[in-house]
Structure 1
Amino acid sequence: MIPPKNAIQPDIWQNINPQLSITNSQNGFGGDAAISASNDGFDASTLSERFWDEGYFLIEDILPLDELGILRRGIENLVANGLPPAMIYLYDEAWQVFRRLRPVLSHFLGERVALLPHFWAWHVDPRDGGRGWPPHRDYQGESALGDDMVISLSLWVPLSPATPQNGCMYVLPRSFERTYDHPVTTPQEVLLQDVRALPAGPGAVMGWRQDLYHWGGRASKHAAEPRISLSLEFQNAAFDPMARQLLELDQPPVFMERLELIAAQFEKYKHMQSIAPEIVEWAKAVLNECRANRAG
């Protein structure tokens, strides 16, 4: 574990993952290659049909495997150093993955896409009974207007194969939930035959409206590898901000801002998964160092 006073030094993190970059500039990343997805040929009509009917979409083979492999190694290096996977967002490449997906985001959210300061990364380890987040909705309020305008959207990117064996994503399709007497509030209300497993491999992206009921599975000890993945949330910036601070897709925060944002996630999400108390306390101490550095 890195002492909180040292965590505010970019070089410390760069040494852990020399294959990744940390840009400390307000000028964005630059370079046209990061702007569009590697496969511009996704079927927008089919994508929209499933999304509006069932509440989610899954696109295979849209992201470059070499970049995802570098990020996977980055998370593995963090975990090997006793650090939480969410620290991967200190590195440019974690933000660039989602920047590549602008065509998909714009298709659903319009051209004014804003990043919500809600993000996480997982390393679901079969060796210790790892599991994803429990059944939940990312947002309890209105996530779409009617059947043609999305307010907010979650994207989820696997960096390793996500299978039922290592805890892939599961959803209750909205087409099934609409037949229930009332919206689901507890897992016990979900009919098991309505549950859909969504295995996916590197190169894919999954997205869902934020009122979709979903969860991550528990990994079997017999699974061949961990489930490693990233998630970030977005909103249509034409609507009122859904968070105190919105971020820009093309100009993500610089190092100290990233560190402060990441450190704030642990207290926010500790009810969603088992985070060791010492990690939560470490994150609080890092957050205090960030604020002290900003103030002084």
Structure 2
Amino acid sequence: MITIKQAQNASYWRDLNPGLHICGLARANDAMLPESTDDVSNIYHPQCRQGGEKDDLFAGFDFSALSDRFWDEGYFLLHDLLPRDLLAGLRDAIERLVAKGLPPAMIYLYDEAWQVFAVLRPLLTHFLGDKIALLPHFWAWHVDPRDQGRGWPPHRDYQGESAIGDDMLISLSLWVPLSDATPENGCMYVLPRSFERWYDFPVIKPQDVELQDVRALPAGPGAVMGWRQDVYHWGSRASRHASFPRISLSLEFQNAAFDPLGDPLLDLETPPSFHDRLLLIARQFEKYRHMQKMNDDILALSRAILAD
């Protein structure tokens, strides 16, 4: 296990994944380094910057059809949307983290993990309006078939109000697979709102769900899945016969015109500094320990980071 001194050293993480960047910098011996690391507001790849090529992802896109299904079933799944080269680098980096005994959520130390979601601004704007805030709620998974890995159990991301009627969204979760997510290795499952509306009572526990209403949502790299934060969903357990792990990222957003649903709210266009990323990640371990089995050493490290 790494020490707190190593964890607080950005160079340690750059050397671990030299193909990725932290605040615009690659590993220390990179020949093309910016002169200053103080400004992290413009570190994104050109296709991920405001007004860049990211809008081309949605050229000719039928947002109306997407909205119809979203408001009916509570979720959407778009295939082959994101650039696969960016995703492949993140997938390989998570494999390196896991091989070192480090949690996949450490991937959010790297710029590229934030870039994935920056390219989706047109999608976020469509559902949440122009005032978008990143919630300080995120996670990354490496669901390993070799040790009976599983995604998170059935839950809703937010227990309060996540929409007003059927035309104004308050908050939205996005989930991005970095590897193929299949029923064998633990893909996502949802209870569509169109089915839950038929129920005589709100679903509180898995036993409340009619099994025939459950929908499996296999997806591959390049896909983006999004859901209202009141949608009941979960990740399944991987079969030991699956040939590869399910690796994925998730981040949450809100319409900033409403009261904050988390603290601090973050700016999609200006990613946190390295130090702030480390603190945010450390908070996730305590926050989600009821959802995810946590290594005692990782919990101790996160507490040390927060206390330092």
1:252 shift after superposition = 1.0
Between the aligned partners of 1:266 and 1:42, the Cα distance in structure 2 is 37
Q: CA deviation at 1:77?
A: 0.7
CA contact (8 A) 1:29 1:250 kept: no
- Counterpart selection for 1:93 from 108, 112, 121: 112
Residues 51 and 165 of structure 1, relative CA distance in 2, 3 Å threshold: same
Unaligned residue ranges in structure 1 (runs of 5+): 290-296
Inter-CA distance 241–125: structure 2 relative to 1 (3 Å threshold): same
State how far apart, in whole Å, the 2-side matches of 1:82 and 1:286 are.
18
1:173-203 Cα distance to aligned partner (Å, 9 max, x none)? 0000000011100000000000000000000
Within 5 A, what are the aligned runs for 1:24-103? Answer: 24=37, 25-30=39-44, 32-35=46-49, 36=54, 39-40=57-58, 41-103=60-122
Q: Please tell me the root mean square deviation across aligned C-alpha atoms, in Å.
A: 1.1
Deviation by residue 1:72-120 (Cα, 9 ceiling, x = unmatched) = 0110010111100000000000000000000110010011110000000
Query: 1:132 aligns to what?
Result: 151
Quick one: structure 1 residues 66 and 91, their matched pair in 2 at CA, closer, same or farther if it must change by over 3 Å?
same
User: 1:52, 1:62 → 2: CA distance?
Assistant: 21
Q: State how far apart, in whole Å, the 1-side matches of 2:55 and 2:90 are.
A: 17
- Distance in structure 1 (CA, Å) of the matches to 2:168 and 2:222: 27
TM-score of the aligned structures, taking structure 2 as reference length = 0.92
Q: Distance in 1 between matches of 2:167 and 2:6?
A: 48
**2:175–2:250 Cα contact (<8 Å) kept:** yes
* 2:91 alignment partner AA: R
The AA in structure 2 aligned to 1:29 is: I
Closer/same/farther in 2, CA of residues 5 and 286 from structure 1, 3 Å limit: same
Distance 1:126 1:223 in 2: 6
Q: Quick check: 277-286 or 254-263, which moved more?
A: 277-286
Amino acid at match of 1:129: Q
Counterpart of 1:168 in structure 2 is 187
State, as a whole percentage, how many aligned pairs show the same letter: 67
CA contact (8 A) 2:44 2:115 kept: no
* Whole-angstrom distance in 2 between the partners of 1:153 and 1:137: 11
Partner SS, residue 275 of structure 1: coil
Q: Which residue of 2 aligns with 1:235?
A: 254
SS at match of 1:89: helix
User: Which stretch of the first structure deviates more once superposed, 2-11 or 27-36?
Assistant: 27-36
Compute the displacement of 1:286 (Å).
2.3
Cα deviation for residue 275 of structure 1 reads 1.4
How far is 1:39 from its partner?
Answer: 2.1
Shift of 1:38: 5.3
Distance 2:303 2:56 in 1: 38
Q: What's 1:214 paired with?
A: 233
Which of 203, 211, 216 is the equivalent residue of 1:192? 211
Give, in angstroms, the shift of residue 30 of structure 1.
Answer: 5.0
Query: Number of aligned pairs?
Result: 289
Off by >6 Å, runs of 4+ in structure 1: none
- Measured in 2, the distance between the counterparts of 1:237 and 1:221 equals 43
